[in-house]
Amino acid sequence: MNSLLLALVSGEISAGDRAVCAEALRNRGFELFTELRLAQVDAIRAGLEDFESWHVLVAFNPLMTGANRRPDAVFADFEIEKAAHLLANLLDDAPRHLRIAPSAEVAAAIAAAILPEAEMRQLQALIATRRDEMATDLPVLADLSRFKYRAKVELVEWNGAKAVKKTFRSTAHDAMERELAFFDDIAPHSDVPARVLARTENAIFYEHIENRWAVRRLFGFRLPLPLSLPQVRALAGFVRLVVQRGWDPIDLSPRDNILIDAKSGRLRAIDFEFAHRRARPVAPVDSYVLSGVPADAIAARPLNNAMDHDPYPGKWRPFTGLSKQSFLHDPAWLQWLKRLVVHPAWLAGHALGAVARRRKHAVDRDERLSEVVLVFSPPPRAPGPQ
């Protein structure tokens, strides 16, 4: 049972807040199996007050990859760490109201102690079913997934050529519908989105694009090398097109999902799971994709992804070399001059600030996580035969 996450939430929080926790887990790739009141389990020693009033959320991630990349991490499994960090930031006074098992192994041990044997078998069968739903029967050449919260992405051999297969989880068919609706409307007007080759009930096959815009790193940091000016202007034109057609591609950015086709040199884009249909077209400068998603907006959005405030300084400007206004409005000659004169100084300041922000984020993250990790002592084993 290397796929489980177990969260304890205080009986003091509302059913609505527990539902928010379940939704947050879903957005981090975990499907809720059951929620129940916690009976006394001798294996748990967490110093929790009013222990029996706590609720247990038992969730699973059939695509969990396992070990944390940081050997000194509070949580042993990377996917559990990401989910724990999200929950810790969502709940008010999380150290008082939240505990999360530090690994899938611990979660499985506790689940076995509190769930009837028939329910454990049901849980195991459900995990196997979800894995089967996501299985690929084509030759897989590479795993291209960055995360697998909503889908897994694979380079496959398809009809004698390479293609990208994006298989959506059963809990993320809404993301698949958004992505296809965006493509079906925009593809007749632009060749920027990767072409859809085929679609099934839970998967989309895309053309494979050899990307020549290589990611370069220095001391673990991604070097924000800007696109060429013609590519920047093509990207601005694409943004103007999609917002004019009423779309807001919330998660689009040159940092994350822009490619440069190695064959043609053209700008291409992938991943439109969060494409949002606005009630009416807006000016590009007012779009969510360039200016952030307001808290009261009714739209699917990436979580913990800097979209609750202006994303342009971190996700766009280092790769465009221009301010937002210049990116959208300046003529080419002025953009060229600003990239030559203004951008180097801006980038130096941004890079220094990024180092400080990254260090502070790491310290804050581990502090938050250590406050909500569940202290667990395995129950003593019965003595064996002498």
Q: How far apart, in whole angstroms, are the C-alpha atoms of residue 322 and residue 342?
A: 8
| Predicted local distance difference test score (pLDDT) of residue 213 | 75
Reported as a pLDDT band with limits 50, 70 and 90, residue 129 is very high
Q: How far apart, in whole angstroms, are the C-alpha atoms of residue 246 and residue 287?
A: 10
Give the pTM.
0.86
The hierarchical CATH code for the domain 4-133 is 3.30.70
Share of the chain above pLDDT 90, in %: 55
Q: Is the pLDDT of residue 296 over 60?
A: yes
Q: Which of 71, 58, 62, 57 is nearest to 9 (CA)?
A: 57
Q: Is the pLDDT of residue 386 over 50?
A: no
* Mean per-residue pLDDT, 124-145: 94
DSSP of 19-69: HHHHHHHHHTT-EEEEEEE----TTB----TTGGG-EEEEEE-TT---B-S
Q: Pick the residue with more confidence: 42 or 134?
A: 134
Q: Is the pLDDT of residue 385 over 50?
A: no
- Which range has the top average pLDDT, 46-50, 151-155, 168-172? 151-155
Reported as a pLDDT band with limits 50, 70 and 90, residue 361 is low
Q: Pick the residue with more confidence: 307 or 317?
A: 317
Helices (H), the chain: 15-27, 78-90, 94-97, 104-114, 117-133, 173-186, 229-244, 288-291, 312-315, 317-320, 324-329, 332-341, 343-372
| Predicted local distance difference test score (pLDDT) of residue 284 | 96
* pLDDT tens-digit readout, 51-103: 667 888 999 999 887 676 777 788 888 899 989 988 998 888 899 899 999 99
Q: Is the pLDDT of residue 217 over 80?
A: no
Q: Is the pLDDT of residue 320 over 50?
A: yes
Q: Is the pLDDT of residue 104 over 50?
A: yes
What's the mean per-residue pLDDT of the chain?
87
| Four-way CATH pick for 140-207: 1.10.287.1080, 3.40.50.150, 3.30.200.20, 3.40.50.2300 | 3.30.200.20
Share of the chain above pLDDT 70, in %: 87
| Predicted local distance difference test score (pLDDT) of residue 228 | 94
Reported as a pLDDT band with limits 50, 70 and 90, residue 214 is low
